Amino acid sequence: MGGEGESLGICAAGALPSGGNQRNGPLAANGARLRSRAFFIFCMGALPLDKSLFYTTALAVMDGERAAGGIGTLGEKTLHAILKRYFEPDVSKHEIKVGRYVADIRNDAGITEIQTRQFGVMRKKLEYFLQENTVTVVYPVAQVKWLTWMNTKTGETAEKRRSPKAGRPQEIFAELYRIRPLLLSDNLHFCIVMLEMQELRHFDGMSRGRRKNPERCDRYPSELCGEIEINGPGDYRQLIPAGLPQPFTSRDFGAACGIPRSLAQTALNVLSFTGTVRRTGKKGNAFLYTTSPF
């Protein structure tokens, strides 16, 4: 999904696109949420045709009713809700009790869990699901992130800026390390979703020219950049940059991926465990690795 096309407009000057009116309903009870929806539509800009499914899914979630209370409703973040609807439009298949746990999605393809971080927290849940189910863990990464601040006292929003940090798909390795014993299960799959993200932060005033007490309020995916599916050890090769020397060190790997060396070391630990790379020796104090043939 997420074929090629021109990038979505990012908060260009002008009026809201067609359909960007603020509607009545549950959202109207929360002024900040309603303003956030308008902000989201404004940031979407012109829409390439091949992004229409993701766009309409996002708006459906932003406009949809959310009953107060219950798993998947109270406090659910917009990013999680949009991805859940995108991967399974039928809401009757959301929040399904499976034994003593609740799955984000359960349908004919199996169980899908949307997890933005802290894979270790769901380890026992995954162990239980994997006994009798195919499980796909969806992991979103902000490939591009735009930051906007909203003053909680006045409702004003400051001009947004692009974050200098570019998200990498290799970020998932920090989370995979926490569930490493489960990675060899034939029933466990992953989908890394690369997104352009709008992040809305609240602050309660200014102090010495700086925003005071900033707090991340919510994140709104404004473009689906791509998806990387991992269904077995061979698929992890998609996360190994082309052109790496053979053999290579963690420093080589980190430089090629654009990630810190500490994360590169964690990634190679996971890749060694799955058999995607092999440790072949040392160069000084650094381990040497080669990519395994599949």
Q: For the segment 165-207, what is each residue's pLDDT rounded down to a tens digit?
A: 889 999 999 999 999 999 999 999 999 999 998 887 766 654 4
pLDDT (0 to 100) of residue 165? 87
pLDDT (0 to 100) of residue 47? 42
Output the CA–CA distances (angstroms, integers) from residue 162 to 10, 70, 196, in the order listed: 10, 35, 11
Confidence of residue 37 (pLDDT cuts 50, 70, 90): very low
For the residues 250-263, what does the mean pLDDT come to? 97
Residue closest to 196 by CA, chosen among 99, 294, 58: 58
pLDDT (0 to 100) of residue 13? 26
pLDDT (0 to 100) of residue 194? 92
How far apart are the C-alpha atoms of 65 and 169, rounded to whole Å?
32
Whether 108 shows a pLDDT value over 90: the answer reads yes
Is 134 within 8 Å of 110 (Cβ atoms)?
Answer: yes
Is 54 within 8 Å of 83 (Cβ atoms)?
Answer: no
pLDDT (0 to 100) of residue 176? 98
7 against 153, higher pLDDT: 153
pLDDT (0 to 100) of residue 145? 87
pLDDT (0 to 100) of residue 73? 41
For the residues 261-280, what does the mean pLDDT come to? 97
How far apart are the C-alpha atoms of 69 and 261, rounded to whole Å?
42
Whether 56 shows a pLDDT value over 90: the answer reads no
pTM to 2 decimal places: 0.75
Q: For the segment 109-158, what is each residue's pLDDT rounded down to a tens digit?
A: 999 999 988 999 999 999 999 999 999 999 999 999 888 777 766 666 66
42 against 113, higher pLDDT: 113
Lowest mean pLDDT among 2-6, 82-86, 211-215, 234-238: 2-6
4 against 88, higher pLDDT: 88
Confidence of residue 219 (pLDDT cuts 50, 70, 90): confident
Residue closest to 268 by CA, chosen among 285, 243, 242, 290: 290
Question: Alpha helices of the chain — where are they, by DSSP H?
Answer: 31-44, 52-63, 78-87, 123-130, 172-176, 250-257, 261-274
Cβ-proximal residues to 49 (8 Å cutoff; 6+ apart), any chain = 5
Task: Report the percent of the chain where pLDDT is more than 90.
Answer: 51
Cβ-proximal residues to 222 (8 Å cutoff; 6+ apart), any chain = 8, 10, 40, 43, 44, 58, 146, 195, 196, 197, 198
- Could you give all domains of the chain from N- to C-terminal order, each with its CATH number? 26-231 (no CATH), 234-294 (1.10.10.10)
pLDDT (0 to 100) of residue 76? 60
Which runs of E-coded beta strand occur in the chain? 94-98, 101-107, 110-114, 135-151, 161-162, 188-203, 206-207, 210-211, 215-230, 277-283, 286-291
